Amino acid sequence: MSTHLTEPALTLTTPADVLAAVPYIVGFHPTDSLVVIGLAGGVGHGEMRVCARWDLPLSPGSLRPLAALFARESITHLVAVGYGTRARVTSAVDELGSIAKWCGVVPCEVLRAHEGRYWSYVCDLPDCCPLDGTPYDTSTSQIAAEATVQGLVALPDRSTLEATIAPHAGPVRLSMRRATAGAVAALRATMASAPDADHFAQRFVAEGLARVRAAIETAKAGARIEDKEVARLGLDLSVIRIRDEAWTLLDDATQPAHLALWRDLTRRLEPRFVPPAAALLAMSAWRGGECVLATIALERALAIDPGYSMAKLLMHALQQLLSPAVLRDRMPSPAELDAAMGAPRASWLLPLTAVLDEREEALS
């Protein structure tokens, strides 16, 4: 499941327009999917408020969060497309219809698309909606051209989007392994020689916070962070206070820089250090309306650490079709974090030492 909260300005007047627009709204050409577009304002002049997508077949109750979403976003009408066989799509459309009726939301158009043809669930006139379907070709649509001009992209499929945050291989991976080994060895040596564990934790956190802020500024400038610095950021982000600093610094103005930075770290960090960066990538993507990317990033984090709490929290929010404002408006400032958490203590570094121990065990 994924949901999209941005509003491209595309005028959709025919089923072919809808089929041409959906891949650009979602970000890739869906298969075995149900896509629901929520509109506010009525037919012809309605504004798109949300777009949600689910994999088919659906598990029972998957569409239940739509009721709260429709109410929260003042949805009055919807457009939906199911991609796949009739057996898979129709049951999902039936569930969608029940929820829409209960919420007073009017289906403007509900389509099934499969193997280059589409069928309508809201029209049964053979002159315009024949039983054997209507052929369509999105590549020749004016909507596709308009979407491209607006900077929207439709990747071939979800796996292509997944590849945009996949781990780097080859020379990049070898370089990062060396950089990570060096950073871990240096940290181990410094920790072992530190006379006061709490004082060491205070210095570690202070330096980590400074590195996070500097990395965001580097990303804003469009520059690349060196491998040694990336490796050290991976260690820093294992400490919750430092990770949360990055979260609180995310706003609308810095969202593109955050997205670029955390995508880069998600790809370059050694696997055990990825979950914090991937969760921050998910938050950045969600805030920017790229909720499919956010879901993929969270899947990556949870595949490495199924218990990672930030990733679990964000995944739950996405599954419930919540707006990022739900969390954004509740995030404390860095100063409030300091006031709430107090001075850094040695116990703050326990998650980091656990990650280091797991990494050394995996390499032994």
Would you say residue 43 has pLDDT above 60? no
Q: How confident is the model at residue 364 (pLDDT cuts 50, 70, 90)?
A: very low
* Per-residue pLDDT tens digits for 276-286: 999 999 999 99
| pLDDT, tens digit, 9 for 90 and up, residues 142-170 | 887 787 777 778 899 999 999 999 999 99
Proportion of the chain in helix, strand, coil states, percent, rounded to 5? 55, 10, 30
Give the Cβ contact number of residue 303 at 10 Å.
13
Q: Is 28 within 8 Å of 155 (Cβ atoms)?
A: yes
6 pLDDT above the threshold of 50: no
Cα angle value 191/193/198 (rounded, 5°): 55
In this prediction, residue 106 has a pLDDT band, given cuts at 50, 70 and 90, of very high
Domains present along the chain, CATH in parentheses: 2-156 (3.40.140.10), 170-363 (no CATH)
Cis peptide bond prior to 57, omega within 30° of 0: yes
Compute the chain's Rg from CA coordinates.
23
Closest-CA residue to 277 (of 238, 313, 251): 238
**pLDDT band at 123, cuts 50/70/90?**
confident
